[in-house]
Amino acid sequence: MWMDELFGVKKPIIALLHLRALPGDPLFGKEDSMESVLATAREELQLLQDGGVDGILIANEFSLPYEKKVSPVTIAAMGYIVGALKQDIRVPFGVNIVSNPLATIDLAAATGANFVRSTFTGAYMGESGLVDTNIAEVLRRKKALGLDDLKLLFKVNPESDAYLAERPIEKITKSMIFHCFPDALCVSGASAGTETDSSLIDRVKSVAGTTPVLCNTGCTAENIQDKLSFSDGACVGTAFKTDGKFSNTVDGARVKDFMQRVFEYRASL
Protein backbone atom coordinates (compact mmCIF):
# COMPACT_ATOMS: atom_id res chain seq x y z
CA MET A 1 0.00 0.00 0.00
CA TRP A 2 1.42 3.38 -1.02
CA MET A 3 0.57 4.90 2.38
CA ASP A 4 2.90 2.48 4.15
CA GLU A 5 5.75 3.62 1.91
CA LEU A 6 5.04 7.36 2.12
CA PHE A 7 4.39 7.57 5.86
CA GLY A 8 6.62 4.70 6.93
CA VAL A 9 3.97 3.14 9.22
CA LYS A 10 0.80 1.11 9.14
CA LYS A 11 -2.42 3.08 9.63
CA PRO A 12 -0.91 6.60 9.61
CA ILE A 13 -2.35 9.56 11.47
CA ILE A 14 -2.51 12.70 9.30
CA ALA A 15 -2.78 15.77 11.51
CA LEU A 16 -4.75 18.77 10.31
CA LEU A 17 -2.82 22.03 10.62
CA HIS A 18 -5.72 24.50 10.58
CA LEU A 19 -4.43 27.91 9.50
CA ARG A 20 -6.05 30.80 11.30
CA ALA A 21 -8.10 33.28 9.24
CA LEU A 22 -6.18 34.78 6.31
CA PRO A 23 -6.30 38.29 4.80
CA GLY A 24 -9.73 38.89 3.29
CA ASP A 25 -11.46 36.29 5.48
CA PRO A 26 -14.32 37.56 7.67
CA LEU A 27 -12.57 36.21 10.80
CA PHE A 28 -9.29 38.02 10.03
CA GLY A 29 -9.25 40.76 12.69
CA LYS A 30 -7.63 44.18 12.77
CA GLU A 31 -5.01 42.87 15.17
CA ASP A 32 -4.17 39.92 12.90
CA SER A 33 -1.34 39.77 10.38
CA MET A 34 0.38 37.28 8.14
CA GLU A 35 3.16 37.18 10.73
CA SER A 36 0.74 36.19 13.50
CA VAL A 37 -0.89 33.50 11.34
CA LEU A 38 2.52 32.10 10.44
CA ALA A 39 3.74 32.17 14.05
CA THR A 40 0.70 30.20 15.24
CA ALA A 41 1.05 27.71 12.39
CA ARG A 42 4.73 27.17 13.15
CA GLU A 43 4.03 26.59 16.84
CA GLU A 44 1.23 24.12 16.08
CA LEU A 45 3.36 22.31 13.49
CA GLN A 46 6.06 21.80 16.12
CA LEU A 47 3.58 20.46 18.68
CA LEU A 48 2.03 18.05 16.19
CA GLN A 49 5.36 16.68 15.01
CA ASP A 50 6.80 16.42 18.52
CA GLY A 51 3.67 14.50 19.47
CA GLY A 52 4.44 11.84 16.88
CA VAL A 53 1.95 12.35 14.05
CA ASP A 54 2.80 10.69 10.75
CA GLY A 55 1.76 13.42 8.31
CA ILE A 56 0.54 17.01 8.17
CA LEU A 57 -2.32 18.42 6.08
CA ILE A 58 -2.25 22.23 5.91
CA ALA A 59 -5.69 23.74 5.28
CA ASN A 60 -7.36 27.18 5.41
CA GLU A 61 -9.91 25.85 7.86
CA PHE A 62 -10.72 29.27 9.34
CA SER A 63 -11.52 30.88 5.97
CA LEU A 64 -15.20 30.66 6.92
CA PRO A 65 -17.54 30.80 5.11
CA TYR A 66 -15.69 28.91 2.38
CA GLU A 67 -15.65 30.38 -1.12
CA LYS A 68 -16.86 28.49 -4.15
CA LYS A 69 -14.08 30.16 -6.14
CA VAL A 70 -11.20 31.01 -3.86
CA SER A 71 -9.83 34.56 -3.83
CA PRO A 72 -6.29 35.01 -5.22
CA VAL A 73 -5.19 36.51 -1.88
CA THR A 74 -6.01 33.21 -0.12
CA ILE A 75 -3.92 31.20 -2.56
CA ALA A 76 -1.05 33.67 -2.23
CA ALA A 77 -1.28 33.64 1.58
CA MET A 78 -1.26 29.87 1.76
CA GLY A 79 1.66 29.64 -0.63
CA TYR A 80 3.59 32.09 1.52
CA ILE A 81 2.84 30.22 4.74
CA VAL A 82 3.55 26.73 3.41
CA GLY A 83 6.79 27.97 1.86
CA ALA A 84 7.85 29.52 5.16
CA LEU A 85 7.01 26.31 7.06
CA LYS A 86 8.73 23.84 4.72
CA GLN A 87 12.10 24.08 6.44
CA ASP A 88 10.41 22.88 9.65
CA ILE A 89 8.29 20.07 8.19
CA ARG A 90 9.75 16.66 9.08
CA VAL A 91 6.95 14.39 7.86
CA PRO A 92 5.09 13.97 4.54
CA PHE A 93 2.71 16.88 4.06
CA GLY A 94 -0.34 17.82 2.08
CA VAL A 95 -2.38 20.93 1.34
CA ASN A 96 -6.04 21.74 0.97
CA ILE A 97 -7.77 24.96 -0.07
CA VAL A 98 -11.21 24.11 1.25
CA SER A 99 -13.91 23.62 -1.40
CA ASN A 100 -11.47 24.44 -4.21
CA PRO A 101 -9.96 21.26 -5.69
CA LEU A 102 -8.33 22.94 -8.69
CA ALA A 103 -6.62 25.61 -6.59
CA THR A 104 -5.50 22.86 -4.22
CA ILE A 105 -3.73 21.08 -7.08
CA ASP A 106 -2.02 24.33 -8.11
CA LEU A 107 -0.90 24.96 -4.52
CA ALA A 108 0.49 21.44 -4.29
CA ALA A 109 2.50 22.02 -7.45
CA ALA A 110 3.93 25.27 -6.10
CA THR A 111 4.81 23.92 -2.65
CA GLY A 112 5.93 20.35 -3.40
CA ALA A 113 3.19 18.73 -1.34
CA ASN A 114 3.05 14.93 -1.19
CA PHE A 115 -0.74 14.68 -1.13
CA VAL A 116 -3.98 16.69 -1.20
CA ARG A 117 -7.44 16.13 0.22
CA SER A 118 -10.67 17.57 -1.16
CA THR A 119 -14.23 16.91 -2.27
CA PHE A 120 -13.26 16.10 -5.83
CA THR A 121 -16.47 14.52 -7.08
CA GLY A 122 -20.24 14.85 -6.97
CA ALA A 123 -22.88 17.57 -6.87
CA TYR A 124 -24.08 18.61 -3.44
CA MET A 125 -25.74 21.38 -1.47
CA GLY A 126 -25.36 23.11 1.88
CA GLU A 127 -25.18 26.56 3.45
CA SER A 128 -22.97 27.77 0.58
CA GLY A 129 -25.58 26.77 -1.98
CA LEU A 130 -25.09 24.32 -4.83
CA VAL A 131 -21.67 22.89 -5.71
CA ASP A 132 -20.93 20.98 -8.90
CA THR A 133 -17.41 19.54 -8.96
CA ASN A 134 -15.29 18.89 -12.06
CA ILE A 135 -12.98 15.94 -11.50
CA ALA A 136 -12.09 15.73 -15.19
CA GLU A 137 -10.60 19.24 -15.06
CA VAL A 138 -8.74 18.49 -11.83
CA LEU A 139 -7.13 15.30 -13.11
CA ARG A 140 -6.12 16.98 -16.36
CA ARG A 141 -4.53 19.88 -14.43
CA LYS A 142 -2.63 17.35 -12.30
CA LYS A 143 -1.42 15.63 -15.47
CA ALA A 144 -0.46 18.91 -17.17
CA LEU A 145 1.59 19.97 -14.14
CA GLY A 146 3.48 16.67 -14.13
CA LEU A 147 2.31 15.73 -10.64
CA ASP A 148 2.45 11.99 -11.21
CA ASP A 149 3.50 11.28 -7.62
CA LEU A 150 0.93 13.56 -5.97
CA LYS A 151 -1.61 11.48 -4.04
CA LEU A 152 -5.28 12.49 -4.10
CA LEU A 153 -7.41 11.81 -1.03
CA PHE A 154 -11.08 11.92 -2.07
CA LYS A 155 -13.88 12.69 0.37
CA VAL A 156 -16.53 10.03 -0.21
CA ASN A 157 -19.20 12.06 1.59
CA PRO A 158 -18.83 15.85 1.92
CA GLU A 159 -18.79 17.21 5.48
CA SER A 160 -21.79 19.38 6.42
CA ASP A 161 -23.35 19.04 2.95
CA ALA A 162 -25.50 16.45 1.17
CA TYR A 163 -25.46 14.97 -2.31
CA LEU A 164 -28.25 16.32 -4.50
CA ALA A 165 -29.30 12.77 -5.33
CA GLU A 166 -28.71 10.27 -2.55
CA ARG A 167 -27.10 6.97 -3.53
CA PRO A 168 -25.84 4.09 -1.42
CA ILE A 169 -22.32 4.78 -0.17
CA GLU A 170 -21.15 1.53 -1.76
CA LYS A 171 -22.32 2.65 -5.19
CA ILE A 172 -20.61 6.04 -4.79
CA THR A 173 -17.38 4.37 -3.73
CA LYS A 174 -17.30 1.93 -6.63
CA SER A 175 -18.10 4.68 -9.13
CA MET A 176 -15.33 6.92 -7.74
CA ILE A 177 -12.76 4.16 -8.03
CA PHE A 178 -13.78 3.12 -11.54
CA HIS A 179 -14.13 6.61 -13.05
CA CYS A 180 -11.88 8.93 -11.04
CA PHE A 181 -8.81 7.01 -9.76
CA PRO A 182 -8.61 8.13 -6.10
CA ASP A 183 -5.44 7.25 -4.19
CA ALA A 184 -7.41 7.08 -0.92
CA LEU A 185 -10.97 7.55 0.28
CA CYS A 186 -11.97 9.70 3.28
CA VAL A 187 -15.18 8.90 5.14
CA SER A 188 -16.67 11.72 7.23
CA GLY A 189 -19.24 12.44 9.91
CA ALA A 190 -21.86 15.17 9.63
CA SER A 191 -19.32 17.99 10.12
CA ALA A 192 -15.73 18.71 11.14
CA GLY A 193 -15.08 17.12 14.52
CA THR A 194 -18.19 14.92 14.33
CA GLU A 195 -17.55 11.22 14.82
CA THR A 196 -17.64 9.10 11.69
CA ASP A 197 -19.88 6.05 12.02
CA SER A 198 -17.63 2.97 12.05
CA SER A 199 -20.27 1.01 10.13
CA LEU A 200 -20.06 3.60 7.34
CA ILE A 201 -16.27 3.17 7.16
CA ASP A 202 -16.81 -0.58 7.04
CA ARG A 203 -19.29 -0.27 4.16
CA VAL A 204 -16.83 1.81 2.12
CA LYS A 205 -13.97 -0.53 2.98
CA SER A 206 -16.01 -3.55 1.84
CA VAL A 207 -16.04 -2.31 -1.78
CA ALA A 208 -12.81 -0.24 -1.90
CA GLY A 209 -10.53 -3.11 -2.87
CA THR A 210 -6.89 -2.01 -2.60
CA THR A 211 -7.75 1.69 -2.25
CA PRO A 212 -6.98 2.86 1.32
CA VAL A 213 -9.90 4.13 3.41
CA LEU A 214 -9.37 6.84 6.05
CA CYS A 215 -11.56 7.95 8.93
CA ASN A 216 -11.87 11.65 8.14
CA THR A 217 -13.60 13.25 11.14
CA GLY A 218 -14.36 12.76 14.80
CA CYS A 219 -11.44 10.63 15.93
CA THR A 220 -10.59 11.03 19.62
CA ALA A 221 -8.10 9.46 21.99
CA GLU A 222 -10.97 7.38 23.33
CA ASN A 223 -12.18 5.98 19.99
CA ILE A 224 -9.09 5.98 17.75
CA GLN A 225 -8.26 2.32 18.32
CA ASP A 226 -11.77 1.35 17.27
CA LYS A 227 -11.66 3.60 14.19
CA LEU A 228 -8.31 2.17 13.11
CA SER A 229 -9.72 -1.35 13.37
CA PHE A 230 -12.09 -0.41 10.53
CA SER A 231 -9.85 1.93 8.50
CA ASP A 232 -6.37 2.26 7.02
CA GLY A 233 -5.58 5.49 8.85
CA ALA A 234 -7.15 8.75 9.97
CA CYS A 235 -7.18 12.51 9.47
CA VAL A 236 -7.30 14.25 12.85
CA GLY A 237 -7.79 17.91 13.72
CA THR A 238 -10.16 18.90 16.50
CA ALA A 239 -9.07 16.11 18.89
CA PHE A 240 -5.57 17.64 19.08
CA LYS A 241 -6.86 21.05 20.20
CA THR A 242 -7.25 22.45 23.70
CA ASP A 243 -10.43 21.02 25.28
CA GLY A 244 -11.17 19.28 21.97
CA LYS A 245 -12.72 22.44 20.56
CA PHE A 246 -12.39 23.35 16.87
CA SER A 247 -11.77 27.05 17.52
CA ASN A 248 -8.82 26.45 19.87
CA THR A 249 -5.15 25.87 19.08
CA VAL A 250 -3.19 22.62 19.35
CA ASP A 251 -2.48 21.19 22.80
CA GLY A 252 0.78 19.22 22.80
CA ALA A 253 -0.27 16.99 25.69
CA ARG A 254 -3.42 15.93 23.85
CA VAL A 255 -1.36 15.07 20.76
CA LYS A 256 0.99 12.87 22.77
CA ASP A 257 -1.84 11.11 24.59
CA PHE A 258 -3.67 10.45 21.32
CA MET A 259 -0.58 9.15 19.55
CA GLN A 260 0.39 6.93 22.50
CA ARG A 261 -2.88 5.08 22.00
CA VAL A 262 -2.10 4.79 18.28
CA PHE A 263 1.37 3.37 19.07
CA GLU A 264 -0.21 0.84 21.42
CA TYR A 265 -2.69 -0.20 18.75
CA ARG A 266 0.00 -0.62 16.11
CA ALA A 267 2.05 -2.76 18.49
CA SER A 268 -0.87 -5.18 18.65
CA LEU A 269 -1.04 -5.67 14.87
**pLDDT tens by residue, 59-86:** 999 999 999 999 999 999 999 999 999 9
Report pLDDT digits (tens) over 229-262.
999 999 999 999 999 999 999 999 999 999 999 9
Q: Which helix (H) or strand (E) holds 116?
A: strand 115-118
Does 77 reside within a domain? Answer: yes
pLDDT at position 115 is 98
Does 182 reside within a domain? Answer: yes
Measured CA to CA, the distance from residue 224 to residue 240 in angstroms comes to 12
Measured CA to CA, the distance from residue 94 to residue 29 in angstroms comes to 27
Strands 123-126 and 162-163: antiparallel
Q: Which helix (H) or strand (E) holds 42?
A: helix 34-50
CA dihedral 259, 263, 264, 267 (to 10 degrees): 170
- The C-alpha angle with vertex 182 and arms to 181 and 183, in degrees rounded to 5, equals 115
Report pLDDT digits (tens) over 108-159.
999 999 999 999 999 998 888 898 999 999 999 999 999 999 999 999 998 7
For the chain, the first-to-last Cα distance in angstroms comes to 16
Instruction: Please name the residue ranges forming H helices in 86-223.
Output: 101-111, 135-144, 169-180, 198-207
Does 24 reside within a domain? Answer: yes
pTM above 0.95, yes or no: yes
Does 57 reside within a domain? Answer: yes
Pick the residue with more confidence: 161 or 99? 99
Give the mean pLDDT of the chain: 96
Measured CA to CA, the distance from residue 214 to residue 222 in angstroms comes to 17
Does 142 reside within a domain? Answer: yes
Does 217 reside within a domain? Answer: yes
In whole angstroms, how large is the CA radius of gyration of the chain? 17
Report pLDDT digits (tens) over 165-210.
889 999 999 999 999 999 999 999 866 668 999 999 999 999 999 9
Tell which residue, 217, 230, 226, has the closest CA to residue 261: 226
pLDDT at position 255 is 98
pLDDT at position 30 is 96
Overall number of domains in the chain: 1
Tell which residue, 111, 116, 123, has the closest CA to residue 138: 116
Does 269 reside within a domain? Answer: no
Does 8 reside within a domain? Answer: yes
Range of the domain at 10: 2-264
Measured CA to CA, the distance from residue 107 to residue 99 in angstroms comes to 13
* CB-based contact 93:56 (threshold 8 Å): yes
CATH code of 146's domain: 3.20.20.70
Cβ burial of 40 (10 Å; 0-12, 13-18, 19+) is middle
